[in-house]
A = this chain, B = another copy of it.
């Protein structure tokens, strides 16, 4: 008698023609515990999802269509893993209301699927209350238009929240003479420096300093492939997390 393997998870990818979507298609096809049952591009009818029997969708589309996509999935009891941006408080609130009527369906909305990046931010926040000083350096390719990066802003906010809750004073700084910009920008009181360099992709360092010691948490994203382990981890865990989860860290076992 042979062991019965569980049936592979039937997954549909929305936004399959975009750069991230194309990577997701490849990653799901390569995963032995998943089966790609539909790959939708711009203009394809959402009915293809249900027709194909998908029980999971990955949404990697655009801010204009992600809300309708996710609501369609939830209304049909299909779990959703979402990497598209544009989910403001109003949209999230509406989605929560809808999920209340579908208590067994799970949705994960994650601004960042790079496991290492999510871990680094969580560790940085947790560590920051044990150090006198903390600053962030983010480094990207020179075609990026915004500075600092969204990830750096979120990391600084997490750190600031943790330090404020623990009543840690601001990082010390005796600077009285500064060439404008030398000390970076401030996000919730945390200094952030943005480097732009040909050859780089997406990198971030959180530097924590105390008397006689330094802790450095660095994450390097070398290519988009780095997001796929996080997408697969999301798919494998979304059914076990009914309701709305924001942030991949909600699925990670980080209790130390």
Please list the residues of chain A having a beta carbon within 8 angstroms of any beta carbon in chain B.
114-117, 119-120, 122-123, 126-127, 129-135, 137, 139, 142-148, 171-187, 191-201, 207-229, 233, 249, 252-256
13 more contacts with CB within 8 A, not counting A137-B195, A182-B185, A212-B223, are A131-B198, A135-B196, A146-B178, A171-B197, A172-B196, A180-B185, A181-B182, A182-B192, A182-B193, A198-B210, A211-B225, A211-B226, A211-B229
Residues of B within 8 A of A133 (CB): 142, 196-199
| 5 shortest interchain CB distances as A-B pairs | A254-B256, A197-B209, A212-B226, A213-B226, A116-B215
The answer to whether A148 touches B115 (Cβ under 8 A) is: no
The answer to whether B147 touches A183 (Cβ under 8 A) is: yes
Which residue of B is nearest A132, CB measured? B198
A sample of 5 cross-chain residue pairs with beta-carbon separation below 8 angstroms, ordered by A number, consists of A130-B229, A147-B175, A212-B227, A215-B219, A255-B256
Residues of B within 8 A of A211 (CB): 198-199, 225-226, 228-229
Interchain nearest-CB distance for A244 vs B (Å): 20
The answer to whether A148 touches B182 (Cβ under 8 A) is: yes
The answer to whether B222 touches A222 (Cβ under 8 A) is: yes
Chain B CB within 10 A, most for which of A122, A123, A129, A201: A123
A214 partner, pick from B147, B148, B213, B222, beta carbons under 8 A: B222
The answer to whether A116 touches B249 (Cβ under 8 A) is: no
The answer to whether B135 touches A130 (Cβ under 8 A) is: no
Which residue of B is nearest A176, CB measured? B145
The answer to whether B222 touches A177 (Cβ under 8 A) is: no
The answer to whether B142 touches A172 (Cβ under 8 A) is: yes
